[in-house]
Amino acid sequence: MTLDIHTLFLVTIYVEAILGLLLLFAWIQNLEIRGVAWWGCAHLMRAGSIVLFGMFGSVSQVISIDLANALLFLSFAVTWTGARVFDGQKPVVLAVIAGPLVWLAACQLPGIGSQQELRFLFASGIIATYTWLTAYEFWRGREEPLVSRWPAIFVLFAHGSIFLLRTPLAALLPWPPVGQFESVWLTVISFEALMFTISIAFILLAMAKERTEFCHRTAAMVDPLTGIANRRSFLNDASGLATSRSAAAGPTAVLLMDLDHFKSINDRFGHAIGDRVLQVFAESTRETIRAADLFGRLGGEEFAAVLRNVRREDAIALAESIHRHFVEAAAYVDGYAVGATVSIGVVLNQDNNELDMPELLAQADQALYYAKERGRNRVEVATLDLIQRPRDVISTRLFASQNAA
């Protein structure tokens, strides 16, 4: 059974155009993922280049070969740019048009323009370069947990490699003479290109869908103002830490932190400055605590942290450092002499028994209450006498309200 090259060309045009429109439609559904728009345009450009290739013999070679290849190279450059935009990089306009311009200029040189093998090698090198650059962009953004990145990298790298292999393969399956359109070699490369364009389009669609779902999951667990874990995320992580903590784990400290006179800050300077104060606290604390520690905003001006495998003196020193750094950072906020301060309650779990996180938070809340009672702007560590003091507010509200929600 033979595959008619004319039919294959028509199928490829339709597929490229449909996939391009599908990607653009997906972009319209979520305009924030702009890389999808670039990829859609790239597929439409490839469809246009194949139309020009299909006109070979009925129009001049300048259009059916030179211009068609330039548009093909541009489509691969646009795909690469889409990968950059997808991962937050800026388009490099000069690099996008470099391949097509170099090709059109080279076609005018007698040494390249008249030698079909040289032109073929030159074209393959341009496509392989853009394809590998696209694979590199996806590999560079691998820290984002998108599973579809890896098949995209593999397919792109393989496609670029196949393009470079086309030159030695062409020696075994020679390119047809000018004017002849039937060739085993032309059928093979056309079929491979069709399979590539279908697979990469659906992989790119999967990446966009995965990015959207990941952003939604992240938004549900992150406080939008400060960028740290929200109440739900922090308490879930704290509960998970308590249940998964091994018997050999070291001591743990829990900190509850509340910005002093925060309502007064909002009243005096406005809510915009109040929001900036919350952001300043989150930034200064995130820079002070260790990467392995839990840190989140429980709501309003109240924050919490869980310090794992920390000695008593180190936990107290870290709490004092959080207090000191914030006071320094919030002395002036956006040019206003805000002078914000923070009160911190600390409780330490010195043994290696299973963590009772609600109880530890309740004890830290008692220490925070005592810090407020003693004049605010200070760090207080929970002691046995302090824990046993009566309180009107039961601190286990932190977990109780979460369960109620």
Residue written as tokens 């050999």?
248
The whole-angstrom separation of Cα 17 and Cα 193 is: 14
The whole-angstrom separation of Cα 18 and Cα 40 is: 9
As annotated, the active-site residues are 301
The whole-angstrom separation of Cα 79 and Cα 42 is: 6
The whole-angstrom separation of Cα 142 and Cα 151 is: 12
Q: Quote the radius of gyration of the chain (alpha carbons, Å).
A: 31
Starting from the edge strand earliest in sequence, which strands make up the sheet with 302-308, in order? 294-299, 302-308, 252-259, 342-349, 379-381
Q: Kindly state the tokens that stand for 380.
A: 């207080």
Domains of the chain: 5-221 (1.20.1070.10), 231-404 (3.30.70.270)
* pLDDT of res. 393: 40
Residue pair 350/383 in contact by the 8 Å Cβ criterion: no
Q: How many CB atoms lie within 10 A of CB 71?
A: 19
Residue pair 17/24 in contact by the 8 Å Cβ criterion: no
Buried b / exposed e along 188-205 (16+ C-beta atoms within 10 A): ebbeebbebbeebbebbb
The whole-angstrom separation of Cα 225 and Cα 283 is: 11
Residue written as tokens 């805000």?
338
The helix/strand/coil state of 317 is helix
Q: Kindly state the tokens that stand for 17.
A: 């155009």
The helix/strand/coil state of 59 is strand
Tens digit of pLDDT per residue, the chain (405 long)? 455 667 778 888 999 999 999 999 999 988 889 999 999 999 999 999 989 988 887 888 888 888 999 999 999 999 999 999 999 999 999 999 999 999 888 888 776 655 777 777 888 889 999 999 999 999 999 888 899 999 999 999 999 988 777 656 555 555 455 444 445 556 666 777 888 899 999 999 999 999 988 888 877 888 989 999 999 899 888 888 777 655 446 788 999 999 999 999 999 999 999 999 999 999 999 999 998 899 999 999 999 999 988 888 999 999 999 999 999 999 999 999 999 999 999 998 876 556 678 888 899 999 999 999 999 999 999 875 455 554 444 344 444 444 433
* Euclidean distance between the first and the last CA atom of the chain, given in angstroms as a whole number: 65
The whole-angstrom separation of Cα 362 and Cα 394 is: 7
Q: Kindly state the tokens that stand for 9.
A: 């060309």
Query: What is the distance, to the nearest Å, from the Cα of residue 186 to the centroid of all Cα atoms in its chain?
Result: 39
CA-closest candidate to residue 277, choices 294, 298, 260: 260
Give residue 164's identity as a one-letter amino acid code: L
DSSP-H helix ranges across 299-355? 312-329
Residue pair 157/200 in contact by the 8 Å Cβ criterion: no
Strand pairing category for 252-259 and 379-381: unpaired
* pLDDT of res. 148: 92
Is 0.75 topped by the overall pTM? no
Name all contacts of 126-129 with Cβ < 8 Å and 24+ positions apart.
Answer: 126/73, 126/76, 126/99, 126/102, 127/72, 127/73, 127/76, 127/160, 127/163, 128/160, 128/161, 128/163, 128/164, 129/99, 129/160
* pLDDT of res. 346: 94
The whole-angstrom separation of Cα 221 and Cα 20 is: 34
Name all contacts of 129-133 with Cβ < 8 Å and 24+ positions apart.
Answer: 129/99, 129/160, 130/73, 130/76, 130/77, 130/79, 130/80, 130/99, 131/76, 131/79, 131/80, 131/156, 131/157, 131/159, 131/160, 131/163, 132/156, 132/157, 132/160, 133/80
Residue pair 73/102 in contact by the 8 Å Cβ criterion: no
